[in-house]
Structure 1
Amino acid sequence: MDEACMKKQNWDVKETELFLEILKDLDMKKCLDGRKVRNNTLFKVAHRRMTAAGYHRSVDQLKFRWKLLKSAYYKCKRSPNAPAPTKIQGWWRYEKTMVAIMESRHPLVGPEVNSDRNDEVTEDSDVEASMLHWPQSCRDNNTQNLDLIIKMDPEMNSHLKIGFIGAGNMAYGITKGILAGNILPENILVSAPSVRNLGRFQELGISITHSNVEVVGGSDVVFVAVKPHLIPLVLNEISPHVTDRHIVVSVAAGVTLATLEEILPENTVTIRMMPNLPCMVQEGALLFARGTNAKEEDGALLRSLLHHCGLVEEGPETWLDIHTGLSGSGVAFVYLFAEALAEGAVKMGMPSSLAHSIASQTVLGAGRLLRDTGKHPAQLRSEVCTPGGTTIYGLHALEQGGVRASTMSAVEAATERARDLGRKPAAGYRK
């Protein structure tokens, strides 16, 4: 159903009140970071409850109603003395509940694993019960509020000019995620020294060039997506053309914010970000850190641009090297495990193609279950095991092989390597 049709749907007061009470009961405030899967799960639960109460609305209709209510809330918050929103009849009836949903938030701190946590399953679903324990991000309230305000008004993003220096896989994956939002292809420009990787950008309707300076001149946000050893060369080239209007985002592993700020002009807004390969299918994990001159609004803007790429979080710069070991390199660790799963099945007599298909689906399904339920991995693992069953025997074999310690050591080794790269002097640096 398109938006025009959804606007024609008439909601009575009782139906809207029930809808908001359901969202409040499901702890909607924990699901306001724009993650598609969490929001979809929540609205599906709300759909079931609404249907049980005799109100037959599709999930899309519920989402659209929430969009209108949220927009009305922000309009009233910005202008308290303005007339009530005309699109929401009887707004005064809902305002108190909306305030409770939007403003009564728990502190946004990192999750703590608590063995005494009550994970009782409700009558609705196991997913709904575990949703209340979803890990919170480490952003502060102000940053998240700015993020929500930017997302609320798509026009704030749609006119931005985005530039990419470098046309590798990371640039391509991030570009696809940005295009899934409100940015049009004609507002993106990509540069690379050769045409080898530029063709796929052209297929997306994006303009290409061989001039890095041209990218900077025509962009508001510039992603520098080149190999780490090329960063000094590229930054020295574009530095004379960077102005106060630019946000420069580096995705080069090991290149510190201090290095970026030394080469670029004083007061340049810089952000260092580490994505990973699944950005290419909009299932990435991205962590960024703001430079000295980057404000909360700049971080919120970046998050709103990239939220279709997958999980986007902000943290201190010291976490970026850890993120490289955990998620950037961690993707390869998962691939190795998937390969070993398949080869184990081949050893036992299964055809190779079938074994690899099942292994990839197993990794995908396990990952989605881990993400969507919010349960600790140990809890999900224990739920698969039965006394004397096949799984506990297999886990015993893995523990005998030291899989846990080896995996931890792999993350540690990759993290230390990322730190080593950051300690190397920036060859070719000049101010």
Structure 2
Amino acid sequence: MEESGIKKQNWDVRETELLLEILKDLDMKKCLDGRKVRNNKLFKVAHRRMMAAGYHRSVDQLKFRWKLLKSAYYKFKREPDSPAPTKMQGWRRYEKAMVAIMESRHPLVGAGVHSDRNDEQTEDSDGEASMLPWPQPCPDNSTHNLDLIVKLDPDMDSQLKIGFVGAGNMAFGITKGMLSGNVLPSNIKVSAPSSRNLGRFQELGVAVTHSNTEVVCDSDLVFITVKPHLVPPVLSQISPHITDRHVVVSVAAGVTIATLEELLPENSIVIRLMPNLPCVVQEGALLFARGSHAKPDDAALLRSLLHCCGLVEEGPEAWIDIHTGLSGSGVAFVYLFAEALAEGAVKMGMPSALAHSIASQTVLGAGRLLRDSGRHPAQLRSEVCTPGGTTIYGLHTLEQGGVRASTMSAVEAATERARELGRLSAARSTK
């Protein structure tokens, strides 16, 4: 059974082992005020750590799983030689950790199932709890630092709120990519000065507004998706509302991390991201660089959030402008080549619709083979060429036209333009 925004999935052994490791570890941790973590808060912290490790469960699902494990523990304590509960065949792997938790006066001992409860109908799924909406990653979901989690997010909200300032193609592509994963439309809000581009977001079930400030105040993670020359005035407008709970992600071409940090409050968490349009079909190529105050956990959060958009990589900021020329603008270069392929076929007598369909499939198939094989393009190209065949004659004509040098020059020109935009943006921010 699966409904919109609701997924059900059985637990694997490693996931359960990780949950127990986390719960056992949290017994030794303390909140900032020195008090023991209450059971409810403990499970919320465990939820954060599970999310950071790539396991997407709600707090209620973790509690339900704990109840099943606790029930099994008491069953085996009463009847050591009894068979494992139904669909709980991995119990022996969990037994040692459960004994360590249950016999050490752990704060979880009193949580959930009581010792006199005879729960023989243990399930390996989450039962009704598994039908709750899956949560999304939350900001600062550190896998190690409980104090930081409590300090930055005392309410331990289990749903990450995402905002987009700007409603252009990049915002739409990223939104569609995220919605194809576990992000719910109700957790996204988009702003734009006019309604022209907001309609398509509303069709996705996403909330829209004309107020950038509203987006920031209602969000934990804020994407800045406006044109580069608009970044300084937009950041000036929203800066008073940026707090230490926010992660600000800019996709503006050429706008450097230094410029972003200068325009935002001191110690703001900033990430510079360059996606490309195929995010809309979950085949994007995204590269990001962290600002001086962004931690590895912030990078893990962004990866978790964007993994359904396509390939997500982290690198130094110097690579971002290169990525803009290679992949951001490169998409248009590929479209131009596909168009030229189809027009060549039309010139030779093929119907236009069929020619364009075959050209798009050719580009798609070649790209997938290149990606999946992991081989150098020259190796694959040479395998298509037979001595005296059609392909080598066609390649010779392309080389005569300078296609290789022209393509390299196009990437270079786009990269330099991205750098120029960065210099212009920096100059505007200092005025």
TM range (shorter): 0.5 to 0.7
Question: CA separation in 2, counterparts of 1:425 and 1:168?
Answer: 19
Question: CA separation in 2, counterparts of 1:182 and 1:344?
Answer: 43
Alpha-carbon contact 1:286-1:313 (below 8 Å) kept: yes
1:325 maps onto 2:269 in alignment:
no
- How far does residue 93 in structure 1 lie from its aligned partner after superposition? 7.7
Amino acid of the residue matched to residue 173 of structure 2?
A: G
Question: CA separation in 1, counterparts of 2:313 and 2:214?
Answer: 30
1:424 maps onto 2:424 in alignment:
yes
Q: What is the match of residue 16 of structure 2?
A: 72
Count of equivalent residues: 315
Amino acid of the residue matched to residue 15 of structure 2?
A: S
Alpha-carbon contact 2:165-2:223 (below 8 Å) kept: yes
Q: 1:270 to 1:77 in 2, by over 3 A?
A: same
Question: CA separation in 2, counterparts of 1:197 and 1:172?
Answer: 9
Question: CA separation in 1, counterparts of 2:174 and 2:302?
Answer: 11
Deviates more, 1:378-387 or 1:320-329: 378-387
Alpha-carbon contact 1:158-1:184 (below 8 Å) kept: no
- RMSD over aligned CA atoms reads 3.0
Larger Rg: 2
- How far does residue 177 in structure 1 lie from its aligned partner after superposition? 1.3
Question: CA separation in 1, counterparts of 2:324 and 2:181?
Answer: 26
Provide, for residues 364-396 of structure 1, a one-character-per-residue CA deviation record: whole Å limited to 9, x for no partner: 111111122222212221222222221122122
Alpha-carbon contact 2:325-2:412 (below 8 Å) kept: yes
Provide, for residues 388-422 of structure 1, a one-character-per-residue CA deviation record: whole Å limited to 9, x for no partner: 22112212222222211211111111111111111
Question: CA separation in 2, counterparts of 1:387 and 1:92?
Answer: 63
Question: CA separation in 2, counterparts of 1:409 and 1:187?
Answer: 42
Question: CA separation in 1, counterparts of 2:391 and 2:294?
Answer: 49
3-state SS in 1 of match to 2:254: coil
3-state SS in 1 of match to 2:196: coil
Alpha-carbon contact 2:239-2:265 (below 8 Å) kept: yes
1:241 maps onto 2:261 in alignment:
no
Amino acid of the residue matched to residue 319 of structure 2?
A: W
Question: CA separation in 1, counterparts of 2:270 and 2:305?
Answer: 16
- How far does residue 308 in structure 1 lie from its aligned partner after superposition? 0.7
Alpha-carbon contact 2:249-2:271 (below 8 Å) kept: yes
Question: CA separation in 2, counterparts of 1:308 and 1:194?
Answer: 29
Question: CA separation in 2, counterparts of 1:312 and 1:157?
Answer: 26
- How far does residue 158 in structure 1 lie from its aligned partner after superposition? 6.2
Question: CA separation in 2, counterparts of 1:312 and 1:376?
Answer: 21
Question: CA separation in 2, counterparts of 1:343 and 1:69?
Answer: 55
Question: CA separation in 1, counterparts of 2:19 and 2:232?
Answer: 45
1:178 maps onto 2:178 in alignment:
yes
Question: After the TM superposition, which residues 138-157 of structure 1 pair with which residues of structure 2 at under 5 Å, given as runs?
Answer: none
Q: What is the match of residue 392 of structure 2?
A: 392
Question: CA separation in 2, counterparts of 1:427 and 1:191?
Answer: 26
TM-score, normalising length: structure 1: 0.67
1:220 maps onto 2:242 in alignment:
no
Alpha-carbon contact 1:167-1:191 (below 8 Å) kept: yes
Question: CA separation in 2, counterparts of 1:352 and 1:287?
Answer: 36
Amino acid of the residue matched to residue 378 of structure 1?
A: A
Gaps in structure 2 of 5+ consecutive residues: 3-7, 28-65, 73-86, 95-141, 144-155
Question: After the TM superposition, which residues 18-37 of structure 1 pair with which residues of structure 2 at under 5 Å, given as runs?
Answer: none
3-state SS in 2 of match to 1:429: helix
Q: 1:395 to 1:80 in 2, by over 3 A?
A: farther
Alpha-carbon contact 1:277-1:331 (below 8 Å) kept: yes
- How far does residue 429 in structure 1 lie from its aligned partner after superposition? 3.2
Question: CA separation in 2, counterparts of 1:169 and 1:425?
Answer: 21
3-state SS in 2 of match to 1:252: coil
Question: CA separation in 1, counterparts of 2:244 and 2:370?
Answer: 42
Alpha-carbon contact 2:13-2:90 (below 8 Å) kept: no
Q: What is the match of residue 270 of structure 1?
A: 270
Provide, for residues 180-220 of structure 1, a one-character-per-residue CA deviation record: whole Å limited to 9, x for no partner: 22221111111100000111111111111111111110000
Amino acid of the residue matched to residue 74 of structure 1?
A: L
Amino acid of the residue matched to residue 423 of structure 2?
A: R
